[in-house]
């Protein structure tokens, strides 16, 4: 590929013998000249690292922000959702594998060139309040996200990531000026699970969650896909809840999502409804204030309740808000502050 058709990467360092070190995600790939990193969308060309997916937008459309899912950040708003091909994980149950694994499995990076300015124009014309970098891992298209994000802020739009949480501290700091919210997948609480199902590691994700919660102003929510027989034991669910409380505090929203057979992992049935309710009860008993059941229509698992007086504050059906009585970021009944709503 000609260098003038590519975007030079951010967060890398040139080394001897034309090698480069990518410091964007926690693989911290050491990349020889002519080779690509773990994600296959960042390539060393002549001793410089280039993004191969900057001009390869593969998705761009408005979504409810609740679909991310973000329930405490600009609720009921529309989110202009964009993606470029690539991922630094290889999850066997990925629901967007056609675009996330394209560069790894098919050795191609397909998409369309759309300048950041045009992305923001489309977002504004469709009535969106924020840009979501989603569907694939936004860390590996950080260059495009950054250029869009800076313009979005100038135009009064917020920016949110939907991420696997494998970015480095340097990447979080790099994005912190324009990134307002993030949903991080905490896929399990065991290294074996991450190794076997995602070809990744748990510890960097825990470090990311800790760093965002305690060293940035980025609003964060957590999602865990509950896979039957793999990460659904009472012990592991309690470990996740306890970690979130200890690291982030009891106001951290936790989305417990139903698994459906996808991609290379089709031998398991969908998560039983009872297992999701059990996970919900474990999380609430542990002390988390805001727990949600995702990928399943339920009587209360999608709603937001006041953690003090238990009043129904936000009623949802699927990804849509049917009622929202939060006033000035507080419960109108008891005046309890509702986490995240000062950002909306």
The sign of the torsion formed by the CA atoms of 239, 243, 249, 253 equals negative
Residue spans per domain, the chain = 3-51, 59-302, 303-344
| Span 9-18, average pLDDT | 98
Q: What is the pLDDT of residues 106-152, one digit of tens each?
A: 999 999 999 999 999 999 999 999 999 999 999 999 999 999 999 99
Domain 59-302, CATH homologous superfamily name and number: Aldolase class I (3.20.20.70)
Q: Is the pLDDT of residue 4 over 60?
A: no
| Rounded Cα–Cα distance for residues 101 and 276 (Å) | 28
Compute the mean pLDDT over every residue in the chain, rounded to the nearest whole number.
Answer: 96
* CA dist 17 → 28, 31, 39 (Å): 18, 11, 22
Asked which of 3-17, 63-77, 187-201, 282-296 is least confident by mean pLDDT, the reply is 3-17
pLDDT higher for 318 or 246? 246
Instruction: Report percent pLDDT > 70 for the chain.
Output: 98
Please report which confidence band the pLDDT of residue 299 belongs to, taking 50, 70 and 90 as the band edges.
Answer: low
Q: What is the pLDDT of residues 25-38, one digit of tens each?
A: 999 999 999 999 99
Region for residue 335 given its phi and psi (left: phi exceeds 0; alpha: psi -120 to 50; beta: otherwise): left
Please report which confidence band the pLDDT of residue 3 belongs to, taking 50, 70 and 90 as the band edges.
Answer: very low
């Amino acid at each position: 590929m000609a260098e003038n058709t590519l975007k030079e990467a951010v967060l890398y360092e040139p080394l001897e013998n034309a090698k480069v070190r990518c410091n964007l995600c926690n693989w911290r790939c050491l990349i020889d000249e002519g080779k690509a990193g773990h994600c296959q969308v960042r390539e060393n060309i002549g001793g410089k690292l280039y993004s191969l997916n900057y001009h390869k937008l593969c998705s761009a459309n408005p979504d409810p922000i609740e679909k991310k899912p973000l329930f405490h950040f600009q609720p009921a708003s529309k989110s202009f959702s964009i993606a470029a091909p690539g991922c630094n994980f290889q999850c066997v149950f990925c629901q967007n594998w056609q675009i996330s694994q394209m560069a790894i499995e098919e050795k191609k990076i397909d998409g369309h060139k759309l300048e950041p300015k045009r992305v923001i124009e489309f977002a504004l014309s469709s009535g969106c309040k924020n840009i979501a970098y989603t569907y694939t891992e936004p860390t590996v298209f950080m260059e495009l996200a950054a250029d869009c994000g800076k313009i979005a802020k100038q135009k009064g739009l917020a920016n949110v990531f939907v991420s696997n949480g494998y970015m480095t501290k340097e990447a979080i700091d790099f994005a912190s000026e324009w990134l307002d919210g993030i949903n991080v997948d905490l896929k399990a609480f065991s290294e074996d699970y991450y190794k076997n199902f995602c070809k990744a590691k748990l510890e960097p994700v825990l470090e990311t969650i800790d760093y965002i919660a305690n060293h940035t102003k980025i609003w964060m929510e957590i999602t865990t896909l509950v896979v039957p027989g793999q990460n659904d034991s009472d012990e592991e669910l309690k470990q996740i809840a306890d970690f979130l409380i200890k690291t982030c505090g009891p106001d951290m929203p936790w989305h417990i999502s139903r698994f459906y057979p996808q991609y290379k992992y089709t031998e398991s049935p969908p998560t039983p409804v009872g297992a999701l309710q059990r996970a919900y009860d474990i999380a609430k008993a542990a002390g988390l204030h805001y727990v949600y059941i995702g990928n399943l229509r339920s009587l209360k698992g999608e709603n937001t309740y006041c953690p003090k007086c238990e009043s129904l504050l936000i009623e949802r059906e699927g990804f849509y808000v049917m009622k929202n009585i939060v006033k000035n970021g507080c419960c109108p009944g008891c005046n309890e502050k509702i986490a995240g709503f000062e950002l909306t």
